[in-house]
Amino acid sequence: MRKSLRALGAATLTTGLVVAGASVASAHVTVTPSTSTAGSYTVLTFAFGHGCGESATTEIAIQMPEQILAVSPTVHPGWDVEKVMEDLETPVDDGHGGEYTERVSEVVYTAETPVPNGYRDAFELSLKLPDAAGETLDFPTVQTCEEGETAWVEIPADGQTGDDLESPAPSFDLTAAEAAEADGTEAQAEEVAAEETQDDTSADAASDDAATPVVSWVALALGAAGLVLGALAFARSRRAQD
């Protein structure tokens, strides 16, 4: 029976790194959000690039923060995926006329074929971020191998960062929606300004193009008038000679 990540986390936070027969790897299990804007939908990419020492990876179990209710894991070739559900003490409105009575507490990927040490893989989870700008979301993750396991579950204390820990949990900070909207507004303003500049350039070119035929026709008219006057002068000259 698979060990509970919640039970492992409590023990590991006290003892630090949990590895059987392996030293601490320099690389960590990491998480990269497609957007970190509070209250928005995002795709989280969890990646690892090593085993437990030299031992191949067989399972990655990712614990979800309590603020996250629903998760859609990507079906990943070569891996089985499971959503571990947890009952909610109080139902939560889902915003669509229904309610959540349980939430996804863990997402567990199990390898069909163990991934050797030194090879990288990544998993994508789609979810909605909590509307809590400024907070840090931690995703304690246990990496199980053919021999031993590494628990990436340490949470920085006040005054610490993930760099101060041997096995930090994957995490990122939620950003304010206003900042994102301001960036979007600025980009939109720049785009509009670029379009207006292009329109002005096109209008000037069109004006130049329209002026060119007018000048040509005027030149032709003047040339024709010159020919007529020349012909008349020549005719008068011949009559005078006659």
Tally of residues, the chain? 242
CB 99 within 8 A of CB 90: no
d(CA 219, CA 216) in angstroms, rounded, equals 5
**pLDDT score of 199:** 55
**pLDDT score of 241:** 55
Q: Which residues of 144-182 are buried (b: 16+ CB within 10 A; e: fewer)?
A: bbebbbbbbbbebeeeeebeebebbbbbbebbeeeebee
pTM for the complete prediction?
Answer: 0.66
Cβ within 8 Å of residue 201, ≥6 positions away:
none
Cβ within 8 Å of residue 42, ≥6 positions away:
33, 34, 35, 36, 126, 127, 128, 129
**pLDDT score of 4:** 46
Tens digit of each residue's pLDDT (9 = 90 or more) over 84-96: 999 999 999 988 8
Tens digit of each residue's pLDDT (9 = 90 or more) over 206-241: 555 554 555 455 455 555 555 555 555 555 555 555
Tens digit of each residue's pLDDT (9 = 90 or more) over 180-214: 455 555 555 455 455 555 555 555 555 555 545 55
Tens digit of each residue's pLDDT (9 = 90 or more) over 23-79: 333 468 999 999 999 999 999 999 999 999 999 999 999 999 999 999 999 999 999
CB 34 within 8 A of CB 170: no
Q: How many CA atoms lie within 13 Å of 40's alpha carbon, on the beta-carbon side?
A: 17
According to DSSP, the residues that pair with 59 across neighbouring strands are 110, 144
**pLDDT score of 163:** 87
Q: Is 111's pLDDT higher than 60?
A: yes
Average pLDDT over residues 116-128: 97
CB 55 within 8 A of CB 197: no
Tens digit of each residue's pLDDT (9 = 90 or more) over 153-177: 999 999 888 889 999 999 999 999 8
Three-state DSSP class for 55?
A: strand
d(CA 108, CA 141) in angstroms, rounded, equals 10
Say which amino acid occupies 72.
S
Q: How many CA atoms lie within 13 Å of 97's alpha carbon, on the beta-carbon side?
A: 0
Average pLDDT over residues 99-126: 97
**pLDDT score of 237:** 55
- Closest listed residue to residue 127, CA positions, set 35, 60, 61: 35
